[in-house]
């Protein structure tokens, strides 16, 4: 090592002069042991901090729910002509790399129609209890949250369903309610729900020919049931009006029970009973 000159002009060699002091330091185990422990603790803290930062910034560490399919069907009849809730079935997949928990299904009403009973030949009975109820007269944009607790492992698939019905108070009016809704799955802390698509639902039962003007009625108005409380002309106007409401919703896209697809093919929206044409 190069020599240096002090203020008095004498040269000092740091290597030779420092050796005695280094030896004295090594002879004090408490001093060097404390220094060693300090170094180890400092290293551990640095590793913990840098590891936490690295993990927090790691890309792609999150669940990602995708809906493979959504189907709708009426719950089968049990006895007589009971109300029939609609079951919505979801097939989903978690394409992320972290466990996902589906916290809720969000149902947003986009279109709605209420079909009044047009004559006294039929009546609806008790609906029973459902997993969730839709409001009877919702405004467009009304949201219904259905709590769930569904877990989907990373890179795994799952299937679950919800059952939608009406509040028990619907019995007083005997209407059939038609909804077109958007379905979304809310999971974990994601601000973007999984989009499941649209669904068309009829509650408490699928509409039948007591509730809409059929192609058969349009071709042969005289076959409208004669034993009705109001005259046939107002009944036919009520049925035609219901048909138009139904058509406005059934013509839109959305999964639906097979019974609603069959209703769409039977609808007529024109030409109710006119006594002058009899």
In a domain, 2, yes or no: no
In a domain, 154, yes or no: yes
The span from the CA of 109 to the CA of 134, in Å, is: 9
pLDDT number for residue 77: 64
Q: Token pair for residue 25?
A: 């330091």
The span from the CA of 49 to the CA of 178, in Å, is: 57
pLDDT number for residue 60: 61
51-78: per-residue pLDDT in tens? 434 334 456 679 999 999 999 999 876 6
pLDDT number for residue 110: 96
Q: Across-strand partners of 108?
A: 143, 182
In a domain, 11, yes or no: no
Q: Number of structural domains, the chain? A: 1
In a domain, 126, yes or no: yes
In a domain, 23, yes or no: no
What contacts 6, CB < 8 A, 6 or more positions away? 12
In a domain, 20, yes or no: no
* Spatial contact of 162 and 134, defined as CB atoms under 8 Å apart: no
In a domain, 47, yes or no: no
pLDDT number for residue 44: 43
102-126: per-residue pLDDT in tens? 999 999 999 999 998 887 544 433 2
| Structural domain boundaries enclosing 223 | 65-277
122-171: per-residue pLDDT in tens? 443 322 233 788 998 899 999 999 988 889 999 999 998 899 988 876 65
Q: Is 112 left (phi over 0), alpha (psi -120 to 50) or beta?
A: beta
Q: Which of 87, 77, 68 is nearest to 130 (CA)?
A: 87
In a domain, 232, yes or no: yes
């Amino acid at each position: 090592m190069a020599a240096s000159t002090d203020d008095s002009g004498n040269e000092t060699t740091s290597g030779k002069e420092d050796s005695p002091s280094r030896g004295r330091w090594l002879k004090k185990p408490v001093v060097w042991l404390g220094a060693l422990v300090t170094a180890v603790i400092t290293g551990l803290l640095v590793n913990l901090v840098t590891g936490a930062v690295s993990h927090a910034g790691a890309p792609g560490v999150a669940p990602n729910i995708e809906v493979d399919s959504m189907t709708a069907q009426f719950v089968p009849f049990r006895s007589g002509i009971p109300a029939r809730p609609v079951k919505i079935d979801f097939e989903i997949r978690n394409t992320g790399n972290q466990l996902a928990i589906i916290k809720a299904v969000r149902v947003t009403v986009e279109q709605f129609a209420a079909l009044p009973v047009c004559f006294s030949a039929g009546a609806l009975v008790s609906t029973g209890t459902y997993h969730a109820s839709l409001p009877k007269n919702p405004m467009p944009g009304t949201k219904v949250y259905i709590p769930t607790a569904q877990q989907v492992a990373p890179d795994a698939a799952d299937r679950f369903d919800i059952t939608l019905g009406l509040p028990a108070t619907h019995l007083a009016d005997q209407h059939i309610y038609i909804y077109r809704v958007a379905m979304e799955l809310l999971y974990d802390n994601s601000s973007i729900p999984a989009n499941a698509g649209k669904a068309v639902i009829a509650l408490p039962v699928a509409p039948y020919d007591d509730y809409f003007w059929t192609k058969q009625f349009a071709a042969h108005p005289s076959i409208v049931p004669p034993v009705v409380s109001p005259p046939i002309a107002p009944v036919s106007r009520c049925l035609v009006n219901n048909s138009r409401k139904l058509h406005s919703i059934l013509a839109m896209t959305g999964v639906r029970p097979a019974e609603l697809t069959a209703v769409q093919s039977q609808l007529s929206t024109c030409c109710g009973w006119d006594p002058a044409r009899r």
